[in-house]
């Protein structure tokens, strides 16, 4: 990538936090930068393989997103197709804290959720109805392996009572092609910078259903209520802010149609993050896992159409759950 001199040997330090790639911090004569290489097998307990070409999709998504919302993604510095690696600017955690860590520590600002929603909606709106992007990001196999199979198909094998709903979710999502999707809009992949949120880790980039991105982020905000129940009301404030801000900016289709798909995806994701190939690491007590399963299954079978209804029901049921436990 011609990022170091011929006689230069950069100092490399492995970075932690992800399961799908090798990521290193490189100290070079030109400064610090990050180098990322996709792994063929993800670092989880279950066998989980995905095409390493997803690295190229991530680079392409970062470049498109940078044109739409400058400052909302790191700058790509170089790409090496042979080793499926790329380099990007290093963003100092002291200046760009991870949103997940802020949420964990009680730094919970609905303003952050609002800007996340604004930028996400802008990316979806700007890329909607683009045959050129649909062709370039026709990454159906990668998205199926990383998201649909590992989340919904794997979970359906464990829960026969909602398997039909989960398989229908796979079918609907795979057939819906509206806009360019990031595929991993999680608080762990969002930095809170001085000029707003910065999105990372677009390995799942795919031209498909933007409702997936919305539901994916909302799912994490709900699950945080189980992790730190003392902050539940503020997590739910972020849930409401992100939902409202995003939906009022949907212009490529009726917002009610997108919301209905997002509501079903949210129900499926809640269950998948307990029993899919990538369970959240912070919900460890079986009674909590059982409560999430019960809530998710009820919504999968009822097919709710409103996200705020799910948020309200979640708040109510977890309040009752905590009261039962004393």
pLDDT tens digits, residue range 253-279?
999 999 999 999 999 999 999 999 989
* Cα 242-244-248 angle, rounded to 5 deg: 120
State how far the Cα of 19 lies from the Cα of 241, in Å rounded to an integer. Answer: 29
Kindly report which listed range (81-85, 190-194, 280-284, 310-314) carries the lowest average pLDDT score. 81-85
* Torsion of Cα atoms, 280 then 282 then 286 then 287, to 10°: -110
Q: 232-247 and 307-325 are packed helices; what angle lies between their axes, rounded to 10 degrees?
A: 170
Tell me phi and psi for residue 31, to 5 degrees.
125, -170
CATH of the domain at 304: 3.90.1200.10
Q: 281 vs 45, 160, 174, 220, CA distance in Å?
A: 12, 24, 27, 12
What are 26-63's pLDDT values in tens digits?
999 989 999 988 776 655 555 555 666 778 899 999 99
Q: Please enumerate in sequence order all residues whose Cβ is within 8 A of that of 318, keeping only pairs 6 or more positions apart, or say none.
A: 225, 226, 229, 232, 291
In a domain, 36, yes or no: no
In a domain, 56, yes or no: no
Task: Give the N- to C-terminal CA distance of the chain in Å, as an integer.
Answer: 59
What are 199-258's pLDDT values in tens digits?
999 999 999 999 999 999 999 999 999 999 999 999 999 999 999 999 999 999 999 999
Contact 73, 149 (CB under 8 A): no
Instruction: Please tell me whether residue 15 adopts helix, strand or coil conformation.
Output: coil
Share of the chain above pLDDT 70, in %: 94
- Whether residue 166 has pLDDT greater than 90: yes
* Cα 143-221-209 angle, rounded to 5 deg: 30
In a domain, 15, yes or no: no
Instruction: Please tell me whether residue 14 adopts helix, strand or coil conformation.
Output: strand
User: Average pLDDT of 307-320?
Assistant: 96
> So what's the pLDDT on residue 135?
97
pTM for the model stands at 0.93
State how far the Cα of 185 lies from the Cα of 116, in Å rounded to an integer. Answer: 9
Q: Please enumerate in sequence order all residues whose Cβ is within 8 A of that of 111, keeping only pairs 6 or more positions apart, or say none.
A: none
Q: 36 vs 44, 55, 107, 146, CA distance in Å?
A: 18, 8, 29, 17
What are 138-163's pLDDT values in tens digits?
999 999 989 999 999 999 999 999 99
Strands annotated E in 39-173: 76-80, 85-89
In total, the chain counts a number of residues equal to: 326
The domain in which residue 260 lies consists of: 93-325
In a domain, 70, yes or no: no
Q: 255-275 and 232-247 are packed helices; what angle lies between their axes, rounded to 10 degrees?
A: 140
Share of the chain above pLDDT 90, in %: 82
**Number of domains within the chain:** 1
* Cα 197-218-288 angle, rounded to 5 deg: 125
């Amino acid at each position: 990538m011609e990022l170091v001199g011929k006689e230069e040997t950069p100092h490399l330090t492995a970075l932690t936090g992800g399961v799908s790639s090798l990521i290193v911090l490189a100290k070079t004569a030109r400064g610090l930068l990050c180098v990322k290489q996709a792994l063929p097998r993800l670092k989880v307990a279950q066998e989980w393989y995905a095409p390493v070409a997803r690295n190229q999709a991530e680079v392409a998504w970062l470049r498109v997103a940078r044109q739409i919302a400058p400052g909302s993604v790191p700058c790509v510095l170089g790409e090496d197709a042979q080793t499926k690696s790329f380099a990007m600017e290093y963003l100092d955690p002291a200046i760009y804290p991870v949103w997940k860590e802020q949420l964990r520590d009680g730094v919970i600002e609905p303003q952050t959720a609002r800007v996340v929603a604004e930028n996400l909606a802008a990316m979806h709106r700007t890329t909607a109805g683009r045959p050129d992007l649909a062709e370039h990001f026709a990454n159906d196999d990668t998205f199926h392996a990383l998201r649909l199979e590992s989340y919904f198909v794997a979970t359906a094998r464990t829960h026969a009572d909602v398997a039909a709903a989960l398989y229908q979710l796979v079918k609907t999502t795979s057939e819906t092609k509206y806009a360019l999707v990031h595929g991993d809009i999680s608080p762990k992949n969002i930095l809170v910078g001085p000029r707003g949120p910065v999105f990372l880790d677009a390995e799942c980039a795919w031209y498909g259903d933007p409702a997936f991105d919305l539901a994916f982020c909302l799912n994490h905000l709900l699950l945080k209520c189980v992790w730190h129940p003392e902050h539940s009301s503020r997590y739910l404030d972020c849930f409401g802010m992100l939902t409202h801000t995003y939906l009022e900016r949907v212009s490529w289709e009726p917002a009610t149609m997108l919301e209905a798909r997002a509501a079903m995806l949210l129900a499926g994701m809640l269950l998948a993050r307990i029993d899919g190939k990538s369970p959240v690491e912070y919900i460890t007590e079986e009674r909590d896992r059982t409560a999430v399963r019960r809530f998710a299954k009820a919504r999968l079978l009822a097919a709710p159409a409103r996200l705020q209804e799910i948020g309200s029901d979640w708040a109510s049921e977890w309040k009752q759950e905590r009261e039962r436990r004393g």
